[in-house]
Structure 1
Amino acid sequence: MGSHRKGAARRRATAPAGRDGYFDLLRAVALVRVVAYHTFGWAWAGMVFPSMGVMFALAGTLMARSLRRPALTVIRGRVRRLLPPFWFWGFFVVTAMLVHGWMPGWRIVYWIVPLGDPPGSAWAEQAWDVVWYLRTYLWFVLLSPLLLRVFRLSPVVVLVLSLVPVVVLTYVWQPPEGRLGSALTDLATFLFCWLLGFAHHEGVLGRLRPLAVAVASLAALAYGGWYALAHRSAYGGTYDLDDDPLAQAFWSAGFVTLLMYAKEYAGLVGPSRSRLVTVFNARAVTIYLWHEVALILAVPLIDRFWEVPAFEAHLPLESQWFLFGVGWVLIGGFVLACGWVEDVAARRKPTLLPGGRAARMGA
């Protein structure tokens, strides 16, 4: 153990202050899994790789790192980087809904700052339903200065206790219907993962014994997996973690802890020079926001392919894998057409395709 900790400390001391290739790879895999889930609808996808837990943990790590600077400055920077891409995407989604007869009330203000779920028409629900992640992320950003203070009082105890809120919402107190209940549930579900990011940045994970981490993580996985399978009838007969907050919280806690501790223990690194991974990370918000729009547009586009005899004869137009491929082509188009907004939001020089030089893990 002593040599491992010394080696890990040397790696942290000599690591460049730029991007973390391992975390960048995890974020890229998480985004691919999200698109795959929304294409194929695999109920088991969340168990194979809990993307949202991974993304919240990585965001928590970056937030803790940024909070070495004044909290208000950090929050302002995070909000500035999030809202312009959201506004740009929202302009097209809201316009399309208005054209199709939707008329919003005062809650349209949530399309300006998504502190609650923005309203929308059923016609475009597949497109705007993804905003829950931005809403939860925004609340975690706003709460992070306080959360980090509490976490530092007793890191391991606070980390373990962060699973209590989702247990309370499941067994003790039913959250209210609507926006408030949804926000509370999502915050409780992913609170552990966000604080796990704090634990990584603060060096708490690196100080834990491998056996203790393994036992605790496997216990969380076992409980989350058992709950998902045993309570399928309460969630539409499926074991999809996205429908089951308690199972999602515990499964993500165990899975993501192992992923992040593996980096500390084994010094795992990722493909830091991969242009593809760099693009995924520099355009993460664009990919996330526009991927459902891409999948929606892919369906009528493939329908047109049937009108071309050569396509009908030689392309697997009925295959979901073909839809997946066409969806990624359209996502690539949105990255090229809309990704520059992320550069503007981050006060970088807009580029058509990022990755020409190493990017910094800034605020």
Structure 2
Amino acid sequence: MVILLQYSPSWQELPGRLANWDKLVTLSNNRAVTIYLWHNLLIALTFPIVDLLYELPFMQSERGVEALNSTYELWAFAFVWPLIGLVVFATGWVEDLAAKRRRGSGRTARRASAPRPPPGRAAADVTGRPAAPFAAGRPVRDCPLLLK
């Protein structure tokens, strides 16, 4: 695991085709605590909401009940995402307050992109250490984390 962490990329922005997801990924990263704290409760709340579908007039037939029974979990999955979005919107400001961020900065705020190192130089993380042994031009076998 330590070796995988050593070689994991530290992206300032998502590369290539993943760049379209950048704002959503940033939002979910900035609201990770809010999502983590609320998601189990929201999952539990979706099942009573799905149960309310049985009360709709067009679901009173045997065919409607069977259709709902066969897709019950899919309805719960579909309903939980808007609920998570609503809670993130309603309570996300508390996470900003706790993190001492400007209110609302969690929506799509990005860190300033780091300057690129000159060609032939190793990329460095925020501490100034090389990002990975291969970035410093050293072969993997010289990695200090590998045990001999």
Common fold by TM > 0.5: yes
Gaps of 5+ in 2: 114-125, 127-148
1:358 equivalent to 2:106? Answer: no
Contact 1:336 1:352 (8 Å CA) reproduced: no
Q: Does the residue aligned with 2:55 lie in a helix, a strand or coil?
A: coil
Letter in 2 for 1:323: A
CA distance in 1, matches of 2:56, 2:23: 35
Alpha-carbon deviations, 1:91-128, whole Å to 9, x = none?
xxxxxxxxxxxxxxxxxxxxxxxxxxxxxxxxxxxxxx
- Give the RMSD, CA atoms, in angstroms: 3.3
Map of 2:26 onto structure 1 = 278
Greater gyration radius: 2
Structure with the higher helix share, 1 or 2? 1
Query: Given the superposition, is the C-alpha separation of residues 331 and 352 from structure 1 closer, same or farther in structure 2, using an over 3 Å criterion?
Result: farther
- Which residue number in structure 2 is paired with residue 337 of structure 1? 90
Q: How does 1:1-363 map to 2 (within 5 A)?
A: 192=1, 196-197=4-5, 200=6, 205=7, 260=8, 263=9, 269=15, 270-271=18-19, 274-310=22-58, 313=64, 317-318=68-69, 319=71, 320-351=73-104, 354-355=107-108, 357-359=109-111
What is the identity, as a one-letter code, of the residue corresponding to 2:48?
P
TM-score by length of 2: 0.55
Q: Secondary structure of 1:274's partner?
A: helix
Contact 1:295 1:327 in 2 (8 A): yes
> Is contact 1:339-1:352 (8 Å) kept?
no
Flag structure 1 segments of 5+ consecutive residues without an equivalent. 1-191, 206-259
Shift of 1:359: 3.8
Q: Say if 1:336 and 1:353, in contact at 8 Å, map to a contact too.
A: no
1:264-288 Cα deviation digits (max 9, x unpaired): 9xxx834276321221111111112
Instruction: Pick closer, same or farther for the CA change 1:295–1:311 going to 2, 3 Å.
Output: farther
Amino acid corresponding to residue 293 of structure 1 in structure 2: L
TM-score norm. by structure 1 comes to 0.25
Secondary structure (helix, strand or coil) at the match of 1:350 reads coil
Q: Give the paired residue count.
A: 103
Letter in 2 for 1:307: E
Return the alpha-carbon distance in structure 2 between the equivalents of residues 324 and 287 of structure 1: 15
For the structure 1 residues 287 and 311, does the alpha-carbon distance in structure 2 shift closer, same or farther, using more than 3 Å as the test?
A: farther
In 1, Cα distance between equivalents of 2:21 and 2:55: 42
